[in-house]
Amino acid sequence: MRQILLILMLALATPAVAVQPDEVLQDTALEERARELSKGLRCLVCRNESIDESNAPLARDLRILLRERLVAGDSDVEAIDFIVDRYGEYVLLQPTTSGANVLLWAAGPLMLLLALGIGYGYLRRRSLATPVTTEPLNAAEEARLKDILGE
């Protein structure tokens, strides 16, 4: 009994797919392609959900648009390029590493190297600095200090 309950709980814990029955294509090969492609497209309303997982109306429109492009005979690349041209590169869950995005991909490691360089320079300068030496108090200063402290 526990095993059946565990299997049922695991089955219910899987992510929900928001594809409506009226969106599903009759051709199973095209539907499979559409599902694979939609896993890489971001819902513009829900941010980090694919359009397959989102119930937002815009995600539904994107799923329908993708299926229309595939039915029209577009290849996978052509269908994705059409959607990217229309909605911008933000619609991709995995952005490309070309063009202006190279700066975004490289910014993290470059900032880390910059921080390490600044830290090294600071520690190096600090180790090379001459220590500050203080002279001991003379008798008059020591007497004045005792007077101030009330000793």
* pLDDT one digit per residue (tens) for the chain, 151 residues: 777 776 766 665 544 456 666 667 777 888 888 889 998 999 888 878 888 888 888 888 898 899 999 999 989 999 999 999 998 888 988 877 777 788 888 899 999 999 999 999 999 999 998 888 888 889 999 999 999 998 7
Q: Give the Cα separation of 57 and 129 in Å (integer).
A: 64
Nearest to residue 37, comparing CAs of 56, 64, 72? Answer: 64
Surface-to-core class of residue 143, CB atoms within 10 Å of its CB (0-12 exposed, 13-18 middle, 19+ buried): exposed
Query: Helix, strand, or coil here: 42?
Result: strand
d(CA 139, CA 132): 22
In this prediction the pTM is 0.58
- Helices of type H across 39-100: 57-71, 76-87
